Copies of this chain bind each other. A is one copy, B any other.
Amino acid sequence: MRVSSYFLPTLKNTPREADILSHRLMLRAGMMQQSSAGIYSWLPLGLKVLKRIEQIVREEQNAAGWNEMLMPTIQPAELWYKNNCYNDYGREMLCITDRHKHNMLYGPTNEWQITDIFRNHVHSYKKLPNRLYHIQWKFRDEVRPRFGVMRSREFLMKDAYSFDIDKEAAKITYNRQFMAYLRTFNRLGLKAIPVNADSGPIGGEMNHEFVILADNGESEIFCQKDWIDTEVTLDKFDYNDNLQPIVDCCLKRYAATKTKHDPINCPIEADNLINIRCIEVGHVFYLGTKYSEPMGAKVTCADGRKKVVHMGSYGIGISRLVGAIIEACNDKNGIVWPEEIAPFHVGLINLSVDDTNCHATTEDIYAKLCSAGVEVLMDDSYYRSGAKLAIMDLIGLPWQIVVSPRGAVNKIVEIKNRKTGKHEEISVEEVLTRLVG
């Protein structure tokens, strides 16, 4: 992609509306623009990152055995009324009346709806387990939306659901998602800690929140000190194995949300405990029969009896993750994207657009990288050199290649690693070998 034909409205100054680092950086890097309070337009660079995260989440959900589907954003309120749950979200529920005076709502989550779909189509134990997910925009009418995409009103969430014959089977399914979450956050370059948490309006019998540590985090957890230095290493595992020992091992260290933590009965000594800020990025629930019982979601067993199914619900905040990752990955010059989710792999800067050698060298590298399938953002604009370098640092692509008139004469360019800051002058040939392999 050429900067000259890309819509990348970076800002020199930080807009006043931003009260947190990730929000400031997203606005300055031209990733998004506010539409109204807590509602954003994703500009091209921001959308690329959002899509990368979405795709990693999708791949890991598929690998864990979930089927992707898509429920609509607007739900009939009837589904919620009937089950006396219409008020569970209080005024965060965005209520809508359509032209025929039907009560509708913009879904904050989809437990009732997926249970309705399940009970319409699945009637036999032979069809269990049933595992479905979707990636769809949700709305929660936050009283005070803030922190950019971290607490927005319209947000993108992956929510998965599961239906099993009994609690034991549901636990096996729960463990699969638990492991899928560890793998997902690992691929995103994040260290996520599973935490005992309140279940909130979703409810259910057991749940774990996944948080990442961040100084600007809205949430607080209490956890054993050694969580801080522990790397969650994921050895190869098969989803069909018994995952309980791995899950248990992961949960043996204490971690609880502020509201869940009970200082009096906490099993950990006070001097081994820390209180630390974090961002919630996922939440898994074993729901039991909270939704299936009132909805009559039953299957016929081998012996002819009808049995209410046991459910699970598993969310990841995809749009929130964009902000959360920036909180974890930045330096004084801007964003430092992890390789897997960087919007482009390489930023290629032509320092002197009208210089013939510079032009030829830049175009040559651009063509070769593109044809090798490397995603490149080439700055072919007439901005001054300092601005070009600053913008490239700000938007945080993993690699920068700088072509200057002096170097281009000898086919020498500068390559810089955004994360380490290490830069060196090497030949064009060597650049291609390093980046294409």
Contact = CB atoms under 8 A, between A and B. Distances in A.
A309 to B, nearest CB: 14
Interface string A1-13: 0000111010000
Nearest to A141: B99
Interface residues of A, number: 52
A91 B367 CA distance: 51
A63 to B, nearest CB: 13
B143 A99 contact: yes
A43 to B, nearest CB: 5
B42 A75 contact: no
A36 interface: yes
Contact of A5 (B5, B35, B65, B69): B65
Given A5-B67, A36-B75, 13 more contacts: A6-B67, A7-B130, A9-B122, A35-B76, A36-B74, A44-B67, A44-B132, A73-B154, A74-B106, A74-B139, A74-B154, A92-B99, A98-B153
14 contacts: A5-B65, A35-B71, A35-B74, A40-B72, A41-B69, A43-B117, A46-B69, A47-B68, A47-B69, A73-B137, A74-B153, A94-B96, A96-B106, A98-B153
Interface of A: 5-7, 9, 30, 33, 35-36, 39-44, 46-47, 50, 65, 67-76, 91-92, 94, 96, 98-99, 102, 104, 106, 113, 117, 120-122, 126, 130, 132, 137, 139, 141, 143, 153-154, 382
